[in-house]
Structure 1
């Protein structure tokens, strides 16, 4: 039975993914920082959890190693960790930029490093998250676009490196999805209207839709897919909205 470790499991998309995978008979390991949220989700799904500071690659690798020993090896690793910073470059401080890079790109690199160590023996799948903002120029997205573009480059290189070990690395690239992280955007009528107008399909994404795509990438029958960046963005990254 497939076992998947979800980093950032207590976030909106991570939670939706965990519920979907467990509902379809998979085992999951819930990984994150919030003990309270992880405990609640663990109780709901009857799945183990590990609370760890994900800003440390050593902590992450140690937590995954301990979990594998306690609950068995896993063959999927998904990094749902991310942040949002909407500021032009001239208004972004060094500390803000560092936090964006650390939260997004550094944790993605740590995920690949840890995943490669554990998955090389028997193969498996790593799924990372980028953003449509890394593929099309959107005003006031400089920091987050830089971090997410780095994740795309990381994933493609890692896919080449670890393909001989049958480790697949792919990227999900969403548009604006209704999550807790983006709540201030989609709950603001003016911001929501402007955002929907940028998406060719004229609506925002839902966490369950993103979770469905991640599940597809994790599925064993789709094991000929690697090094791909798959947009789930209502057309934002590549389709010009019709006026």
Structure 2
């Protein structure tokens, strides 16, 4: 049995990761920003360096940590305000950095850190400037941290989902025409499910897969790499 920490466990993907790890018999500690969605073990803002550091110091040791924090803003750059941009960067990149920072400090015996990037950081998508910038930062962070902490056997990887059906994307997928367009962008012809992403996260957390580090793996129905035939 391993011991894992899920930051922002109230997200749809975070809850799926929690379910999978618990079903496999692991000990799982969770955090959330508030208690309205889940009864988290610790209430904290995952962008707060000191708060994340304290959880890893006091609730560990952990074999793996995953940061599931994030946000979604589909708006062109010239229509994005500074507060909106700051919110996106804080939710996706600052939380990721706080996770790596604390893991590097407290997981001296090694383990696995999994971050969440996005297919939008791998493929140019219109009106994704803020989220693409933040998630591209997560990729750079993943690569650098993997190099830095390899000597202590701490692996750092990222998953890069396509469009996943969650409460966060419900407005985008709420109409039939919008859903059809979104599905057509993915070569496999469907929107992702939280469990699609969770399975990859659990794989990367598993100590059995301890020769994988510095990787950014798309779980996106082909969105970032494949151009399907036009469906008519």
Q: Distance in 1 between matches of 2:84 and 2:36?
A: 27
* Per-residue CA distance 1:88-121 (angstroms, 9 max, x = gap): 000001111111111111110000001111112x
Aligned to 1:222: 209
CA offset digits 1:66-89 (Å, max 9, x no partner): 222xxxx11100000000000000
Please tell me whether residue 187 in structure 1 is matched to residue 174 in structure 2: yes
1:20 maps to 20
Correspondence for 2:163: 176
| Residue 115, structure 1, aligned to residue 107, structure 2 | no
User: Equivalent residue for 1:104?
Assistant: 92
CA distance in structure 2 between the aligned counterparts of 1:159 and 1:54, rounded to whole angstroms: 20
- The reply to whether residue 54 of structure 1 matches residue 42 of structure 2 is no
- Aligned: 1:67 with 2:54: no
- Does structure 2 conserve the Cα–Cα contact (< 8 Å) formed by 1:172 and 1:230? yes
2:122 pairs with 1:130: no
Whose helix proportion is higher, 1 or 2?
1
SS at match of 1:205: coil
- Check the 8 A contact 2:67/2:116 in 1, yes or no: yes
Q: How many residues align?
A: 230
Whole-Å Cα distance in 2 between the matches of residues 93 and 33 of structure 1? 24
Q: Which residue of 2 aligns with 1:11?
A: 11
> What RMSD, in angstroms, separates the aligned Cα atoms of the two structures?
1.0
Normalising by structure 2, report the TM-score: 0.97
Shift of 1:19: 0.5
| Distance in structure 2 (CA, Å) of the matches to 1:36 and 1:136 | 34
